Structure 1
Amino acid sequence: MTRRTDAHPDLARPEIGAPFFSTWRVGTPLRQRRAVEAIGVTWERRPWPADGLLGYHVYTGHDASTLLHYSQWRSDAAYEAFVKTHRQERVDEIDTAVPGIERLRLGRYRHHRSLSRPDDTRVPGCIVIVDIEFEGPDPDRQRAWVDAVVEALEAEPNPHPGGISAHFHLSTDGTRVLNYAEWESAQAHLDALAAPGDGIGSATALWERVQTWPGLKGSTVSRYDHALGLIPG
């Protein structure tokens, strides 16, 4: 059985062996809504596809054009088995309901570390995805850069109160880092970006080190709303 949930996912669940992030371009706010509903209906009419899938969440982009997908798999093998037996029928039904979806990229990651407070019960009002790309594969560089970000965050002299958590993921090809950050609201994130400094964080030496890391190719920042959660039930 498949059921919907409004609860945000726990990105630090130890059972998650293979978190996947992907992006679709659908074009307009109306098509965003139709695609989300088509995904929900398509999945709910079928049994939960695999014990190896812990949860599947969809987010609408504040760019009014894209959807972010986050799936929690126990292993890559569990995902590959799903692709062989269950994925295509779901894709076909969704594409029939909303023709012309562009599937831009599927990223395979591993959760590296998270920053959050156990006593923080705030519900995120906005999800911010920071996608970092490096020049070529280097797993040691991925980990070192994340550790430098965490050091800068923990030493931040003026932390913005709107930030709730940060969950850092390393791409399995060694070239990217994805930070799934939970914020109270989109405005809180915008206010933090508008504060003194280059992006989130004050103008400190630690943040400068992060921003000028050797091999850092570029980064993008995107804001999303949690639109659909699907879990076994």
Structure 2
Amino acid sequence: MRTGVASVLGQVSTPAAVFGSWQVGTPQRQHAVAEAIAGAWRRRPWPGPGLRSYAVLAADDGTTLLHFSQVDDLEDVPAQDLTWKQEVDAAVPGIERTGVSAGVLRRSTPAYGPAAEAACAVLVTRIFDGPDAERANRLVDAMFESSAETPAAEGLLSAHFYVSPDGATVLNYALWASADAHRQAIENRPAELEANAQWQQAHACPGLLSTSFQRFRPLLRLAPTAR
């Protein structure tokens, strides 16, 4: 396995992804858990070729860890030796595992900049009132079409939209040059974009219960050892 600070967020390029959330309590524990994960994984063989990379990111709330796994197929995620979690729990007791979401890649923006320049990842989660894959796909398509004529926000490096297999959740995983660039993009959203009918419809889609986001900074990325 390999990791590198400059490329810790990696390039998003696989057909599917799995997102897991842990609550660990403090910024110091975020780092301690990431170090324990790194040690446990490096003592074990890579789970299999269907897992392209595994990353751990710290939320700016100081308590949450995001686990981001890039996989080839949600129906064939490589089996793992899950005793690594026991090692992590022994090293940092009291971790609360709060959920896992997964999605198939629907659409991606162009790469506006190299992933190696990313210091921030933003995960936007949209939850619907029930399963409907066609509705979720339409929302993603409408967002892309509504922004087609608007220049990308300064500092956005790429954005990737995943739809859960049942269509009840849309996950937008975006790489940014910095957390401040994302804040500035929200505060200075182009007026022509907000006035776009498709953009408005996408954000008021029938059955859309909630939209939320978190910002993360990279702590760890593991990938199969180059041969």
Name the structure 1 match of 2:188: 195
Determine if contact 1:142/1:175 at 8 Å carries over to the other structure.
Answer: yes
Map 1:55-204; keep pairs closer than 5 Å.
55-79=53-77, 82-83=79-80, 86-87=81-82, 89-117=83-111, 120-121=113-114, 123-156=117-150, 159-195=152-188, 201-204=193-196
Determine if contact 2:146/2:198 at 8 Å carries over to the other structure.
Answer: yes
SS at match of 2:141: helix
What is the percent sequence identity of the aligned residues? Answer: 37
Q: CA deviation at 1:196?
A: 5.2
Rounded to whole Å, the distance in 1 between the matches of 2:189 and 2:224 is 45
Name the structure 1 match of 2:31: 33
SS at match of 2:89: helix
Determine if contact 1:5/1:231 at 8 Å carries over to the other structure.
Answer: no
The code of the aligned residue for 2:58 comes to T
Q: CA deviation at 1:206?
A: 2.8
Name the structure 1 match of 2:212: 220
The code of the aligned residue for 1:174 comes to G
Rounded to whole Å, the distance in 2 between the matches of 1:163 and 1:9 is 15
Determine if contact 2:179/2:215 at 8 Å carries over to the other structure.
Answer: yes
Rounded to whole Å, the distance in 2 between the matches of 1:196 and 1:139 is 28
Deviations 1:180-200, CA, capped at 9 Å, x for gaps: 0111111111111112579xx
Rounded to whole Å, the distance in 2 between the matches of 1:134 and 1:180 is 18
More displaced 10-residue stretch of structure 1: 143-152 or 49-58 = 49-58
Rounded to whole Å, the distance in 2 between the matches of 1:215 and 1:197 is 26
Q: What's the RMSD between the two structures over aligned residues? A: 1.9
The code of the aligned residue for 2:129 comes to E
Q: CA deviation at 1:226?
A: 1.4
Rounded to whole Å, the distance in 2 between the matches of 1:221 and 1:91 is 26
Deviations 1:68-121, CA, capped at 9 Å, x for gaps: 111122334543x515xx12x11100111111111111112111110023x733
TM-score, normalised with respect to structure 1: 0.88
Determine if contact 1:12/1:111 at 8 Å carries over to the other structure.
Answer: no
- Indicate which of 32, 37, 46 corresponds to 1:48: 46
Name the structure 2 match of 1:12: 13
Q: CA deviation at 1:207?
A: 2.1
Q: CA deviation at 1:165?
A: 1.1
Determine if contact 1:53/1:78 at 8 Å carries over to the other structure.
Answer: no
Q: CA deviation at 1:211?
A: 1.2
Rounded to whole Å, the distance in 2 between the matches of 1:44 and 1:171 is 30
Determine if contact 1:196/1:203 at 8 Å carries over to the other structure.
Answer: no
Determine if contact 2:114/2:157 at 8 Å carries over to the other structure.
Answer: no
Q: CA deviation at 1:209?
A: 1.4
- Kindly tell me the number of residue pairs found equivalent between the two proteins: 221
- Indicate which of 193, 200, 208 corresponds to 1:208: 200
TM-score, normalised with respect to structure 2: 0.90
Q: CA deviation at 1:64?
A: 0.6
Q: CA deviation at 1:159?
A: 4.2
SS at match of 2:194: coil
Determine if contact 2:162/2:171 at 8 Å carries over to the other structure.
Answer: yes
